[in-house]
Structure 1
Amino acid sequence: MTDLSKITPEWVRSRKDAAQKIAALTAYDFPTARLLDEAGIPILLVGDSLAMVVLGYADTTSLRLEEFLPHLAAVARAKPRALVIADFPSGTYRTPAEALVTGKALVQAGAEAVKLEGGVEASDAIRTLVGAGIAVMAHIGLLPQSAGRRFRKVGRQSEERERILADARAVEEAGAFSVVVEAADAGLTAEITRCLRIPTIGIGSGSACDGQILVFHDLVGLFPWFRPRFAEPKADLAPLIREAARLFLAETQGKASPAPQRDSRL
């Protein structure tokens, strides 16, 4: 991207059917946000995946809003050109009124848009948020806050397929500026992408979407204990970190020569 203007929800909406697809990654802290922004990633999602890959919970449903907000604020302090989107933690948008309270808290912490799971059942909450001036990215297909760790491909059976199609139409009608489609059958995702006027951003849903999103830790091999089958890591940081720690341990215990110090900040 050569345009250095701030990424906005309107920019994302305008990328529907664009030749250059949208790339999005999760970020949960200041340095990661800085690095991904410097790389040109246009969307940074402070995702509820934080619960698993940073905080060590078994799934996303254990994440509390008060745990989530400091991570969102840290990403916002990086002041990225990228659009900062925040997930709604599980259980914080059970009614449109509750969604509005949570949405305002997320915006106050630094979110420039929000994301929540659900289609038809979430449409009233989306409509309320949009009416209050809060931009919403929707999330349909597999819903991790409902599925827990039971990850599976969805949309292969006709009844489920029709339900997800109805979800896609509902979130667009409610005013979402884009929609994440997770772990959906590739043919269904292609149909959704053709039908909607807003961009679809896929994760484990094939290549027909208007963009793709990935958990940062899956991208760089930073969570080796669990890796989704659809994730294609571009780096493998876990063994590098282990080796660096082993070298430090050996140096500290006098079993190896210390590396020359190239720069001292003290």
Structure 2
Amino acid sequence: MKKKMTITSIKKAKADKPLVMITAYDALFAKLFENSADMILVGDSLNMSFAGKNDTLSASLEQMIYHTNAVCAGAKNSFVVCDMPFGTYVNKDDALRNAIKVFQETPADCVKIEGGLDKADIVKHLTSNGIAVCGHIGLLPQAFRSEGGYKVKGKTEDEKRSLIADAKAIEEAGAFCMVIEGVKADVAAEVAKSVEVPVIGIGAGVDVDGQVLVFSDMLGLFEEFTPKFVKKYLDGALLVKDAVANYADEVVKREFPKEEHTY
């Protein structure tokens, strides 16, 4: 049986091996991913790939709790990260109240919040009150409207300095690891070297401490668009469509069910 990772083993991985993180939103896929993934992220990306919305912003805390419980039920030996959705950590009191709700109502191992230096006081408040926190810096999906879209970070010297300051602030506030998204590869590498906790990349090059992808992207199930940083390891949508078309064809032709499928 796979040994579940802990905050201690995740921290130690920085000097040992790259961490593997993948998203999941239900028990079925979480169980399939469990043996390969060190960490499973119940991302608010479910609002797009699972709920069909245009962005993550309308994901609710109740949604995240529901899906986190499902993932934990399917992957009992995985370290599970619950995304704190937009609007649930605008101040320290709200953040702690909502994070406590996640911890009380799910077996999640930690919560993830977006933001760097500007959110360090909130991260500190959570970690000081028994809430384990995974940070998220760089491109912040929950801030895409205020930033005028999804923009790659680390293109200037000022942005590089800002990202390093963000990482150090989150580490100092008590985050045991962090995601870095949509950042120039050379800058992401410098950010990872600037802190002692693992920095897990998505669209941030190979020279960080691990990688995370949205499962529906990497399995080719989400057809609307494919980000540049995604590698499709399976043409899932085509395989599923072909299988369902084959089933439908056999039903219409009365070729299914056959005798071996009949009581």
Q: TM-score range by the shorter chain?
A: over 0.9
Aligned partner of 2:176 in structure 1 is 177
Tell me the SS of whatever aligns to 1:238.
helix
Aligned partner of 1:220 in structure 2 is 219
Aligned partner of 2:109 in structure 1 is 112
Q: Given the superposition, is the C-alpha separation of residues 12 and 261 from structure 1 closer, same or farther in structure 2, using an over 3 Å criterion?
A: farther
Q: Is the 8 A contact 1:25 1:41 kept in 2?
A: yes
- Structure 1 unaligned residues grouped into runs of 5+: none
Select the residue among 30, 33, 36 that pairs with 1:33: 30
Tell me the SS of whatever aligns to 1:60.
coil
Matched residues in 2 for 1:35 and 1:221: separation?
16
Task: Give deviations 1:41-74, integer Å, cap 9, x for gaps.
Answer: 1100000101111001110111111222211111
Matched residues in 2 for 1:89 and 1:211: separation?
23
Select the residue among 137, 142, 161 that pairs with 1:140: 137
Q: CA deviation at 1:253?
A: 2.1
1:71 aligns with 2:67: yes
- Of 6-15 and 207-216, the range deviating more from structure 2: 6-15
Matched residues in 1 for 2:157 and 2:235: separation?
39
Q: Is the 8 A contact 1:137 1:180 kept in 2?
A: yes
Q: Given the superposition, is the C-alpha separation of residues 5 and 100 from structure 1 closer, same or farther in structure 2, using an over 3 Å criterion?
A: same
Equivalent residue runs for 1:186-197 within 5 Å: 186-197=185-196
Matched residues in 2 for 1:143 and 1:238: separation?
27
Matched residues in 2 for 1:92 and 1:58: separation?
19
**What code does the residue aligned with 2:112 have?**
K
1:82 aligns with 2:78: yes
Aligned partner of 2:230 in structure 1 is 231
1:161 aligns with 2:160: yes
Select the residue among 122, 125, 130 that pairs with 2:122: 125
Q: CA deviation at 1:40?
A: 2.6
**What code does the residue aligned with 1:88 have?**
M
Q: Is the 8 A contact 1:9 1:113 kept in 2?
A: no
Q: CA deviation at 1:79?
A: 4.3
Q: Given the superposition, is the C-alpha separation of residues 246 and 119 from structure 1 closer, same or farther in structure 2, using an over 3 Å criterion?
A: same
**TM-score where L is the length of structure 1:** 0.92
Q: Is the 8 A contact 2:64 2:83 kept in 1?
A: no
Q: Is the 8 A contact 1:88 1:116 kept in 2?
A: yes
- Of 153-162 and 50-59, the range deviating more from structure 2: 153-162
Q: Is the 8 A contact 1:28 1:75 kept in 2?
A: yes
Q: Given the superposition, is the C-alpha separation of residues 152 and 69 from structure 1 closer, same or farther in structure 2, using an over 3 Å criterion?
A: same
Aligned partner of 1:101 in structure 2 is 97
Identity %: 36
Q: CA deviation at 1:27?
A: 0.5
Aligned partner of 2:8 in structure 1 is 10
Q: CA deviation at 1:262?
A: 6.1
Matched residues in 2 for 1:4 and 1:27: separation?
18
- Structure 2 unaligned residues grouped into runs of 5+: none
**TM-score where L is the length of structure 2:** 0.93
Aligned partner of 2:202 in structure 1 is 203
Q: Given the superposition, is the C-alpha separation of residues 210 and 257 from structure 1 closer, same or farther in structure 2, using an over 3 Å criterion?
A: same
Q: Is the 8 A contact 2:27 2:75 kept in 1?
A: no
Matched residues in 1 for 2:181 and 2:81: separation?
17
What is the alpha-carbon root mean square deviation over aligned residues?
1.8
Tell me the SS of whatever aligns to 2:111.
strand
**What code does the residue aligned with 2:100 have?**
K
Matched residues in 1 for 2:131 and 2:259: separation?
49
1:49 aligns with 2:48: no
Aligned partner of 1:60 in structure 2 is 56
